[in-house]
């Protein structure tokens, strides 16, 4: 017989999954990019006005050909910062915190409550990879 806590946890996950529409499409991420990122990274995401703003179309290339979705979302959110980003890049976590969905990390594991806008922005950036 399943543990009561497990049943409650699964019920909560099912309820969260039922709330709201499917994740925003990459097209929605493009709107978010234009609003929050293009000023520094450029309209084409190849680098822009901010000194040292990296080429966002080469994220996968810099990661052995794999788009590191979890790491990208963590940097955008502000949860993870490296010396490469430092204090130059604003933390967007609070700005993108509305409308939470369950997101499944590509590396597996449990689904994580994640801002829908953050998922959409990462999806858009993944479409830009060359």
Within a domain: 9: no
**Which residues 6+ apart lie within 8 Å of 102 measured at CB?**
13, 16, 17, 111, 112, 113, 114
Within a domain: 115: yes
Domain count for the chain, please give it.
1
What is the average pLDDT across 113-126? 94
How far apart (Å, rounded) are the C-alpha atoms in residues 120 and 28?
A: 6
- Mean pLDDT for the chain overall: 79
CATH number where 119 lies:
1.10.760.10
Whole-number pLDDT of residue 97: 83
Using an 8 Å Cβ cutoff, are 96 and 2 in contact? no
**Which residues 6+ apart lie within 8 Å of 82 measured at CB?**
75
Is the confidence at residue 107, as pLDDT, over 60?
yes
Alpha helices for 19-115 (secondary structure H)? 26-36, 38-41, 69-77
Within a domain: 3: no
- The residues facing 115 across adjacent strands are 100
Whole-number pLDDT of residue 25: 62
pLDDT in tens, 19-61: 433 444 699 999 999 999 999 899 999 987 777 788 999 999 9
Within a domain: 108: yes
Residue-number span of the structural domain to which 110 is assigned: 22-127
pLDDT in tens, 56-104: 999 999 999 999 999 999 989 887 665 554 557 888 888 888 899 999 9
**96: nearest Cα among 54, 35, 21, 47:** 35
pTM for this model (two decimals): 0.75
Whole-number pLDDT of residue 7: 40
Within a domain: 99: yes
Within a domain: 33: yes
Within a domain: 90: yes
Whole-number pLDDT of residue 52: 78
**Which residues 6+ apart lie within 8 Å of 36 measured at CB?**
92, 95, 121
């Amino acid at each position: 017989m399943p543990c009561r806590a497990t049943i409650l946890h699964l019920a909560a996950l099912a309820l969260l999954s039922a709330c709201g529409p499917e994740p925003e499409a990459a097209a929605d991420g493009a709107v978010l990019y234009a609003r929050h990122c293009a000023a520094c990274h450029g309209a084409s995401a190849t680098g822009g006005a901010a000194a040292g703003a990296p080429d966002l179309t080469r994220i996968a290339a810099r990661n052995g050909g794999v788009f590191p979705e979890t790491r990208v979302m963590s940097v955008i959110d502000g949860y993870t910062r490296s010396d490469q980003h430092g204090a130059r890049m604003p933390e967007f976590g609070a700005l993108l915190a509305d409308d939470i969905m369950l997101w499944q990390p590509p590396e597996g594991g449990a689904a994580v409550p994640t801002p829908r806008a953050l998922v959409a922005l990462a999806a858009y950036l993944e479409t830009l990879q060359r």
